[in-house]
Amino acid sequence: MYVDGTPKTSIWYDPQKPFSFNIIDQRKLPFSFEIIEISSSEDAFLAIKDMWVRGAPLIGVTAAFGMYLAVAENPDSIQSINERAEYLKKARPTAVNLEYGIKRVLDVLQEENTGSRNKEKALDSALKLREEEISRSEKIGDHGLEILKRLYNKKSAARLNILTHCNAGWLACVDYGTALAPIYKAHEAGIPIHVYVDETRPRNQGARLTAWELEKQGISHSVIPDNTGGLLMQKGMVDAVIVGSDRTSIKGDVINKIGTYLKALAAKDNKVPFYVALPTSTIDINMKDAFAEAVIEQRHDDEVRMIEGWTGSHTENVQIIASESPVLNYGFDITPSTLVTGLITEEGLCEANEPSIRKFLNL
Amino acid sequence: MYVDGTPKTSIWYDPQKPFSFNIIDQRKLPFSFEIIEISSSEDAFLAIKDMWVRGAPLIGVTAAFGMYLAVAENPDSIQSINERAEYLKKARPTAVNLEYGIKRVLDVLQEENTGSRNKEKALDSALKLREEEISRSEKIGDHGLEILKRLYNKKSAARLNILTHCNAGWLACVDYGTALAPIYKAHEAGIPIHVYVDETRPRNQGARLTAWELEKQGISHSVIPDNTGGLLMQKGMVDAVIVGSDRTSIKGDVINKIGTYLKALAAKDNKVPFYVALPTSTIDINMKDAFAEAVIEQRHDDEVRMIEGWTGSHTENVQIIASESPVLNYGFDITPSTLVTGLITEEGLCEANEPSIRKFLNL
C-alpha cells in the first residue's frame, strides 16, 4: 500500500544493509511515521514484546527475520540459535504465528552446514514467509472483491459503505491485510467505497491504525465510536461489515477483537451481510466449541484507564477513569457462526459451519 | 445520595443565601468535586448551555430556579420576566424538560401581584418541581427494586450483576436517578450488587459520572469499554441491563444514548432481561414510529476526536484521532420495543408495546 505516494509494506529487507530489517513503529501512528531498523535479535524481541509491531501475520514475519539475525549473530552454533529461538518465542507467548515464523527458519537450518550457508538459508526463509503473507492477503482481497462487486452492482446508490472493527489491514500483515484487503482491491478496481471505522476501544486500533491506512490510501472513511455502528445499520448506511479474526473454530465461531460480536448482532438484525476475512491458518480445526474452550485474555487496566493523545506538540498519556473505580478489560469476544455470512480466505469463500469448513479444508 | 459521607443532591437551595441556588460542576467530575453558587439568571443560562449540569430532569429544575432568579432580578415586570423565559429556553433548545421547568414557574405568576409575592411563588414553584423529581426517582427506584429482588432471589450466586449505559443516576436528576435508582434502592435494601458501567463513548458519562456516583455510594462496580458488554452477557456475568431513556414512543421504542441498542441486542441474544427506567413524562404519546420520526442529533466531531484526561496535576484535552480523518458523531440510537423486557416508571412497571402503554397511561 502507499504512504504519501510511496509504496510501503509493514516489514522489509534492504540488501544494502544486510544484517538488519525495517519496520514501521506502529506505536507512533497516526501522529508520527517512523521507521526502525532492527539490527539484532534482541531488538526483534523488543519489537514484538513492546508492540512496535502487532497483528498475527506481521508478528510471524518479524519473528522469522529476528531468527535470521540470530543466525547471523552466531552462525556456527546450532545450540546458540536454538536458545535464541526459545528467547524469541517468549516475546508474546500466546501468538501462534510467532512460533510458526521461528519454526519456518529453524526448519531450513542444517547442523552439518557452514554458518554462511545457514545465514543465507535463514534469510531466504524469512523473505519467503514475507512473500507468502503478501500473496495470502492479495488472494483474500481478490476473493473479497468479488463479493463487494456483487454488492455494488445490485445497489443503486453511488457508493458502497463498509463497516470494519479494529485493524486488520496491511499494518497487521505485510501488505493489503485481511479485512481491509477486499476494500483496497475494490478501491483499485474503481468501486467508490466508504469505510466506517470503529474506534475500537480500549486500544483504539481503528482510530489510530485503520483510519491512518485508509487516509494514506486516499479511501473515503469516517471514524465512529464503537457505539455507533448499530444506528448506522438501522439507518441503512452500511452495505456490509468485514472484520478479521484471531482464531476461528471448526464450527465457524469467530474469536476476534472485543466488540465484534455486537456488530454481528446488529448486522443480523438489519440484514447486513457480515463477513470475516482470514487466512485458513487462522481456522483452528481442533477447536470444537469456542464458547467452552476459548480462554479470553484479560488485559491490563491501564489500557482502559489511560489514553495517549496528541497535545499539539507531543503525545501524552492522560487518565480518563478515576483511580478509585475498578476496570475490567477483556481482549476478545466470540461471534457465533450463525451471525456470520461467510469466511473470506485465500482459498476462496467458505460458509461458517462445520460441514462447509471440513469440505473446504479437505478434512 | 452520598458524597464522602454527606447527603447531596445535584441541585439545592440554601435559605441563608436566598438569591441563589447551588449545583455541582459536572464538567469537573470525577477528578474534582466543585460546587457552583448560581446567583443570576444569566449564570443559570450558562450552566445549562455549557453543560455544568445535564440530564433532562436536572435541566428542568435548573431552568425553574433560573426563572426564580429572573423574577427576583426584576419582580415587578411581567414583560421582563417573559423575556428572560425566552432567553433561558434558548440554552438547549431541544430539551423538553427545559421548557417544562420554565413553564412551571411562569404558570404561578400573576400580573396583578406585587413583585415580592411573585418572587415567593416562583421560588415555591422551583422547590416543588425539585421535590417532585426526587419523588419520581424514588418511586422508579422502589418499583425497580421489586424486579431486582425477584432476580436476586431466584439466583443462587452471591451477588446481582447489573449492566448500565451512560449516566442515568442522581447527577442526571436531583436524587436517585432513573436507571440507577433501582440499584441504589437494592443497595439500601442490602442486596449485594455489582454494576458494570459502560464507559459510554464519546462523552464518557459512564466512566466519568456513573462510576463516580457508584464509588461515592460504596457500590461495587467495574468500568468497561462499550465493546465489552456482549462478552459479559455471553459469559453469564450479567443478570439484567437497566438503562434510561431520552424519549420513548407510544409503541415502546426507546431513544437513548448511542450504543444502547447494541446492548439490547446482546441481552436478547443471551436471555438477559433488558429494562428501561424512565418517568412517564418521557413517553411521547404523539410519536407513533420512532424509526421514521426521530431526528437523531449529530454532534460536534471534537467530542470524538478530543478527550479530556487527568495529567496528574490538571486536566488536559488531547487529540486521539488524526486531523486528516473525518469523524461521525451521532448522539442516540433507537432500541426497538421487541428487545425491551419492561419499562420501569414512577407509576409501576409497563410492558413496552402500544396496547400496554395506552392502558397504563389511561389513554
Residue B81: all three cell numbers together: 420576566
In chain A, what is the straight-line distance between the N-terminal and C-terminal CA atoms, in Å? 35
How close B231 comes to chain A (CA, Å)? 5
Its ipTM equals 0.95
pLDDT in tens, A198-243: 999 999 999 999 999 999 999 999 999 999 999 999 999 999 999 9
Indicate the class that CATH gives domain A140-360: alpha beta
pLDDT in tens, A151-168: 999 987 789 999 999 999
- Neighboring chain B residues of A325 at a CB cutoff of 8 Å: 30, 197, 207, 211-212, 214-215, 221-223
Helix (H, G, I), strand (E, B) or coil at A91: coil
Q: In the beta sheet, which residues pair with residue A195? A: A162, A221
β-pair type (A348-350, A342-345): antiparallel
Please give the C-alpha separations between residue B164 and each of A186, B221, B283, in angstroms, as whole numbers: 40, 11, 20
The domain limits of chain A are 2-132, 140-360
Residue B221: all three cell numbers together: 462496580
Please list the active-site residues of B.
246
Lowest mean pLDDT among A67-81, B120-134, B228-242: A67-81
A228 in contact with B at a CB cutoff of 8 Å? yes
Q: What's the whole-model pTM score?
A: 0.95
Superfamily of domain A2-132: translation initiation factor eif-2b, domain 1 (1.20.120.420)
B202 in contact with A at a CB cutoff of 8 Å? yes
For A353: left if phi > 0, alpha if psi spans -120 to 50, otherwise beta; the answer is beta
For B52: left if phi > 0, alpha if psi spans -120 to 50, otherwise beta; the answer is alpha
Please list the active-site residues of A.
246
pLDDT in tens, B94-146: 777 899 999 999 999 876 667 788 999 999 999 999 999 999 999 999 999 99
Q: In the beta sheet, which residues pair with residue B73? A: none
pLDDT in tens, B242-272: 999 999 999 999 999 999 999 999 999 999 9
Contact flag A328-B228 (C-beta cutoff 8 Å): yes
Return the percentage of chain A with pLDDT > 70, whole number: 99
Q: In this structure, are residues A309 and B318 in contact, taking their beta carbons and an 8 Å threshold?
A: yes
- Neighboring chain A residues of B311 at a CB cutoff of 8 Å: 316, 318-319
Helix (H, G, I), strand (E, B) or coil at B267: helix
Please count the residue pairs, one from chain A and one from chain B, whose beta carbons lie less than 8 angstroms apart.
Answer: 224
How close A185 comes to chain B (CA, Å)? 21
